[in-house]
Amino acid sequence: MVYPTLDIVIRNVGWKKYVISLLLCLVASTAIAAKSAMPMKLEQSVCGIKEPIYFWLWSTAAGRPNSKRLSGLGGVVDLSFTTQDGRRLRGYKLRANKTFPEQTEPARGFLLVMQGNAILADQILGEYRAYAHLGYDVYIYDYRGYGRSNGKRRLKAIVNDIKEILTSLIAQAYEKRLVYAMSLGGVFLLNALNADMQLDKIIIDSTPSRLSDYGCPIEYDPIENLPDDCSNILLLSSA
């Protein structure tokens, strides 16, 4: 087989079309490379070698997901959320049910629950039935790499996941926006918050003030990420 030389191609299709095609191929290949590199960039450790070890220990302690824990719990919706880097996060929504078992009016708002470092969504969803009875949709996701969610368990990546989930919930135009974050969940939340996220009430329960003592960059310290206006935040701690 004889392949055409470059000058023959240019004479046949024209040099302008050839250059445009070449540029389009270059742009497409660059975009593909950037997209494939995004998960690797997000899932890099920022706290050194300890980070993947600790996350492995915590996720192992959390155990395996078990949907049987939700049996008898009405109004449960199985959720799937795809992140910008292509990871699939799984979780549940407990539908607002003021008129249980049939909801005939829209939810008053949402409650996003962010669990501790060794807890899965199906283990604690039932504990928030009272909020569903008060008219709130309750959302809980397994963190990246935990339970039914895929991807590597990394601080930077999970913080980014929380940003995306919060942005998605806020875009749904709920009247009230509540967040309850416990332990490591509070670390993720405070690192994910920004001024555009207008949340009505936030409860941060038993969250450490610093991670830099464990080798993480100081910019990930929760105390460094408290917003200027904390009037909507309740901090809970034990002596």
State the Cα–Cα distance between residues 53 and 215, nearest whole angstrom.
Answer: 13
Is pTM beyond 0.85? Reply is: no
pLDDT digits (tens, 9 = 90+) for 177-227: 999 999 999 999 999 999 889 999 999 999 999 999 999 999 999 999 999
Q: Which residues contact 167 (CB under 8 A, 6 or more apart)?
A: 197
Instruction: Walk along the chain (239 residues) and give the pLDDT tens digit of each residue.
Output: 444 554 544 455 555 554 455 455 555 554 444 444 556 689 999 999 999 999 999 999 999 999 999 998 999 999 999 999 999 999 999 999 865 555 557 899 999 999 999 999 999 999 999 999 999 999 999 999 999 999 999 999 999 999 999 999 999 989 999 999 999 999 999 999 998 899 999 999 999 999 999 999 999 999 999 999 999 999 998 76
Helix, strand, or coil (residue 5):
coil
The total number of residues written for the chain in this structure = 239
DSSP element (H, E) containing 24: helix 15-42
